[in-house]
């Protein structure tokens, strides 16, 4: 990975960094010289990725549960010891279990809201003093979803959480606009990640349909007829984090092959 680049000397914290979109974002930032805190709950995938990009510019914050303020504070304290204050925050951690609305239990609803919405609030609030101290050029980038801009059947809690993330993004962007801190959301369509792989396996197990038939449920909304690649999402994040995106704030950048959002 490159030692130099547009993010040389910057400290990025990426939640949910161990796989999928989070790992692609880590690789993209590392290729441009950023020092990165890889935050997540499981140590093994984080260490594997840190070894891949080089230990000199990576710090593993395992046990980083976005629903637990004490765990966030502890991980953040260690990250600051490694690389100093955070000036780029990527809120990527999330989960997307599915269920019909009438079978969505209160516990499942609370779990998804707690991880996908409250988690963004918790981490952002903890990191915000660092970002405000940095001022001009600091970045908050929230991984939302096209489900934050439209509805999808059988994921009502996920849609509600991601709509909340976009609302929070827009509100905080206004609060921080004059401080030079941008706040944006990236909204991928269905992306080729372990979450989709697990969803396909569940459809096959529950319905008896083939994996190809199950996959078609996720690709039909994309006019390009395919899943989005994690690297394509990472490219959008990289641009929003760059100096060239200084006038972009409060926006929801859709990466979905031309899928049109209702407005």
Which residues does the annotation mark as catalytic?
Answer: 158
Angle at 148 between CA 146 and CA 152, to 5 degrees: 70
Q: Are strands 88-91 and 139-143 parallel, antiparallel or unpaired?
A: parallel
- 64 burial (CB, 10 Å; 0-12 / 13-18 / 19+) is buried
The number of CA neighbours under 13 Å toward the Cβ of 110 is 3
**213 CB-near residues (< 8 Å, 6+ apart):** none
Sign of CA dihedral 169, 173, 179, 182: positive
Q: What is the DSSP letter of 115?
A: I
Find the radius of gyration of the CA atoms of the chain: 18
Alpha helices in the chain (DSSP H): 20-31, 43-53, 69-83, 106-113, 119-134, 156-176, 194-207, 211-219, 230-241
Instruction: Give the Cα separation of 135 and 155 in Å (integer).
Output: 37
Q: Which residues sit opposite 59 in a β-bridge?
A: 37
Instruction: Give the Cα separation of 171 and 241 in Å (integer).
Output: 19
């Amino acid at each position: 990975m490159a030692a130099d680049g547009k993010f040389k000397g910057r400290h990025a914290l990426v939640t949910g960094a161990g796989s999928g979109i989070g790992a692609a974002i880590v690789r993209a930032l590392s290729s441009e010289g950023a020092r990165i805190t890889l935050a997540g709950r499981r140590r093994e995938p984080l260490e594997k990725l840190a070894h891949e990009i080089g230990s000199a510019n990576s710090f593993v914050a395992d046990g980083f549960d976005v629903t637990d303020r004490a765990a966030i504070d502890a991980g953040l304290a260690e990250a600051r010891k490694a690389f100093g204050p955070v000036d780029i925050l990527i809120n990527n951690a999330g989960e997307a279990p599915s269920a019909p609305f009438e079978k969505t239990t209160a516990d499942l609803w609370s779990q998804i809201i707690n991880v996908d919405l409250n988690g963004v609030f918790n981490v952002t609030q903890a990191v915000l003093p660092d970002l405000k101290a940095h001022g001009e050029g600091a970045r908050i980038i929230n991984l939302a979803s096209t489900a934050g801009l439209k509805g999808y059947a059988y994921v009502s809690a996920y849609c509600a959480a991601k709509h909340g993330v976009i609302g929070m993004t827009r509100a905080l962007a206004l609060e921080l606009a004059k401080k030079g801190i941008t706040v944006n959301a990236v909204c991928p369509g269905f992306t080729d990640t372990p979450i989709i792989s697990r969803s396909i396996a569940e459809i096959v197990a529950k319905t008896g349909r083939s994996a190809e038939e199950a996959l078609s449920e996720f690709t039909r909304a994309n006019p390009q007829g395919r899943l989005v690649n994690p690297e394509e999402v990472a490219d959008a994040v990289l641009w929003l984090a760059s100096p060239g995106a200084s006038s972009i704030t409060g926006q929801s950048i859709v990466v979905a092959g031309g899928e049109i959002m209702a407005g």
